[in-house]
Amino acid sequence: MAGDDERREPEEELLPEKDGVLPGMIGENEGREYGVEHRRGEVLEAFLENFPDGILLLDFQGNVLECRMGTETTFLEMFRERMIAGQRFSELPIFSEETAPRAAKAFEKVRCAGSCVHCEFPLGLSDRTMFLEMRLFPAGRGNIAVLLRDVTELRLVERELDLAEGIIQNAQEGIVVTDAAGIIKMVNPAFTEITGYTPEEALGRRPSMLKSKHHGREFYESMWRSLVEEGHWQGEIWNRRKSGEVYPEWLSIGALRDERGVIRHFVSVFSDISQLKAQEMQIAHQAYHDRLTGLPNRHLFRDRLMVEVAQAHREGGALGVLLLNLDRFKNVNDILGHAAGDGILVTVGERLRGLVKEGDTVSSMGGDEFAVLVPRLAVPGEMGRLAREILASLREPFEVEGQRFYLTASIGISVYPLDGEDQVELVRTADLALRRAKEQGGDGYSFYAESMNQAVSKKLVMENGLRRALEREEFALYYQPQVEVKTGRLIGVEALLRWRNEDGTVISPGEFIPLAEETGLILPIGEWVLHKACRQNRQWRDAGFPPVEISVNISALQVARGNLVSLVAGVLEKTGLEPSGLAVEITENSLMENRDAAREIFRALDDMGVRIYIDDFGTGYSSLGYLKNFALSGFKVDKSFVDGIATCVRDAAILEAMFGMARSLELDVVVEGVENAVQLTVLKSLGCRFVQGFLYSTPLPPEMATLYVKKGFVRPPG
């Protein structure tokens, strides 16, 4: 043990301890005086007194020669009384049964190999566990020194870091760490899983790589202002994956500052909430849609109706509400069963959706009752047309379990603001109208306002009359001459439609043409007019009369339908009329409603040799852009500019400007509505070339028009 001279080698005789300095720790330094050694010993002693680690000095057999506590190893104080000189190193009380063999093995390695050994072991206490770091190394003169350091706090920090790293790596949320400049320094696996970007693709870039362009600049400016001023931001944001898919996420960003308060890093934690959003939408859909048909339910219908009523009130517009109930539907359930009845309700919903315009709402109000909301209603009569189309659609057979089943329905209609000024009143009045339709036997519709029923009834009679007129050829064409002012030469005629009813009364075009356009009958009527006019002009030319141009009016619906070019080509071929013998006229408003389709149609007609005129020029959109963008031959000035031309300087100035513009664009101008010599005189002075009006002739039946065409010129009276 320590102090046992028999265990020491003769040449390793230790100097006596001086002032607490450990013998052997100074080492041999022969040739120096003891005073020098003494001073060096004092310095070493001072150093050891302030050394943070505990120190053990062992002899070559592993016995403890000396023990120093160290300034930061207070744990050794607990073992001071049991840490006695002469104890074997591996038997010290700081070792347990598990750690003592490790200590002995470390000692043997130093003694045999002469190298430094580093190891660590837990110090189990009753109230906590501590971790000790131990370093063993040769200390000279056959001694071995052992340094003991308390690394408990360090290991706990490391454990926390390991835990944090594990949490980050295994977190379901994406995590991004950037520096103060916003450059990405670290991402976790969830980031890659959510965004599709690998760490290699993300590091060194900015989070803006994920921008979806869903948010404006103000959104991001507000985010960064909050981060800089408050140190955090959180909210919902839309980002874009590597695949290009845009998705919603919930994002939290925190600023990390140093001890001076300077921002060094930003940490972002985000989660993909696409599924949550989908669930929310599904829940909302279930709350506001009918489970069976998928249509908006009663609650959503009323909400939309309330919104549309408010908008109609602000804009001074109108809207319509249609309530539909299937007639005797209970019989379907009783005979075929509820499953078959559900199938029919689904089919009814599909048919209704196929009949309404974009922006209209078809709703299932429960059971066999449906509703339709038509906002921005142009005229109340639209609701009657829609009701007739619905009734006709529902009369088509339903296929149920391989069998055909027939249904009818009753419809009630209310119109804002005529029948109510809020959603409650409109639904109530539509329901009352529905009851009236039921009382009348079903398979019909009724407006709440009796005046509307009368008007619709009148229109229905006229619609039926139009269909009958087509079948019985009750229509006729009259022709009004178009004249060259300077010579009186007949340059053309305009074909004007007339309807002589079966009772002999003549119905004005202003009365039936709008209904024909509303019902779509204008298409077969327009085709009939085109055939009739071209055939008449072909007859005149075959008779050797001077050639004239015959003008036919076309509607916006004919342009929108898209087959006008093929129709004109087919008629010209069938009648044998040269394209130069035909002109088509369309109003400004009809042109602008279908400008894209009209541009292509007019180009094709122009290439064919057919001339195109804008009718009622100056009364519609008056957008001069179409004069250069469309293949036009000229335009016809509306009568309203001629009525006061003799006394109104402005009308004269406008007409003079029109003539000048037409000459510059090489367009022909025909002035309509010339009724007296004074008007004609003024028009001549303004440079007018072509006119049409009662001064020369009223619209003429074919027999009288033939006389004018044969003569080839028309002189005004007097």
Residues 435, 473: one domain? no
Same domain for 251 and 222, yes or no, is yes
> In the block, which residue shows the tokens 């019909």?
444
Last residue of a domain, one of 89, 122, 153: 153
**Per-residue three-class SS string for 579-601:** HHHEEEEEEHHHHHHCHHHHHHH
Residues 263 and 375 in one domain: no
Q: Is residue 209 part of a domain?
A: yes
Cα angle for residues 434, 439, 440 (degrees, 5° grid): 100
With a cut of 80, say whether residue 628 has pLDDT above it.
no
Could you tell me if residue 135 is inside a domain? yes
Q: Which two tokens stand for residue 372?
A: 């339709």
Distances (CA, A) of 209 to 6, 244, 250: 79, 11, 17
Q: How many CB atoms lie within 10 A of CB 705?
A: 24
Burial zone of 628 (CB within 10 Å; 0-12 exposed, 13-18 middle, 19+ buried): exposed
The answer to whether residue 284 sits within a structural domain is no
Last residue of a domain, one of 153, 188, 220: 153
Which of 95, 121, 153 is a domain's end point?
153
Interaxial angle between packed helices 450-472 and 509-519, expressed in degrees from 0 to 180 and rounded to the nearest 10: 90
Residues 571 and 652 in one domain: yes
pLDDT tier for residue 35 given thresholds of 50, 70 and 90? low
User: Which of these, 350, 184, 189, lies nearest to 267 by C-alpha position?
Assistant: 184
Residue 7, pLDDT > 60, answer: no
% pLDDT > 90, the chain: 38
- Domain range for 234: 171-278
* Type and span of the H or E element at 467: helix 450-472
Same domain flag for 121 and 181: no
User: Domain for residue 371, yes or no?
Assistant: yes
* Number of domains observed in the structure of the chain: 4
Q: What contacts 429, CB < 8 A, 6 or more positions away?
A: 414, 419, 420, 448
- Each residue of 57-97: pLDDT tens digit? 888 888 888 887 776 666 666 666 566 667 888 888 888 88
pLDDT of residue 493: 95
- Domain assignment of residue 464, yes or no: no
Is 643 inside any structural domain?
Answer: yes
Any idea what the CATH number is for the domain that residue 378 is in?
3.30.70.270
In percent, the amount of the chain with pLDDT more than 70 equals 87
CA separation for the pair 172, 177 (Å, rounded): 16
Residue 6 has pLDDT above 60, yes or no: no
Does any domain span residue 166? no
- Tell me: do 274 and 407 sit in the same domain: no
Contact 523, 488 (CB under 8 A): no
Residues 491 and 573 in one domain: yes
Residue 126 tokens, joined: 């009753």
Do 351 and 484 belong to one domain?
Answer: no
Residue 474 one-letter amino acid: E
Please give the average per-residue pLDDT across 26-54, as a whole number.
Answer: 60
Tell the residue number behind the tokens 């003539």, with chain if given: 659
Q: Are strands 174-179 and 184-187 parallel, antiparallel or unpaired?
A: antiparallel
Q: Which of 28-37, 183-192, 708-717 has the highest average model confidence (pLDDT)?
A: 183-192
The pLDDT of residue 11 is above 60 = no
Determine the average pLDDT of the residues in 522-530: 92
pLDDT of residue 427: 94
* The predicted structure's pLDDT at residue 123: 74
Q: Are residues 422 and 542 in the same domain?
A: no
Q: Indicate whether 320 pLDDT > 90.
A: yes
Per-residue pLDDT tens digits for 494-525: 999 998 877 777 777 887 888 888 778 889 99
Same domain, 523 and 604: yes
Residue predicted with more confidence, 355 or 467: 355
Q: Check which CATH number belongs to the domain holding 531 and give it.
A: 3.20.20.450
The first and second tokens of residue 225, run together, are 């202002």
Range 471-475 average pLDDT? 85
User: Do residue 539 and residue 664 come from a single domain?
Assistant: yes
Q: What is the dihedral of CA 81, 87, 89, 90, to 10 degrees?
A: -90
Residue 9 pLDDT level (bands cut at 50, 70, 90): very low
Q: Is residue 250 part of a domain?
A: yes
Read off the amino acid at residue 624: L
Same domain, 675 and 601: yes
- The CATH code of the domain that includes 251 is 3.30.450.20
Give per-residue pLDDT as tens, 546-587.
999 999 998 888 888 768 899 999 999 999 999 999 999 988
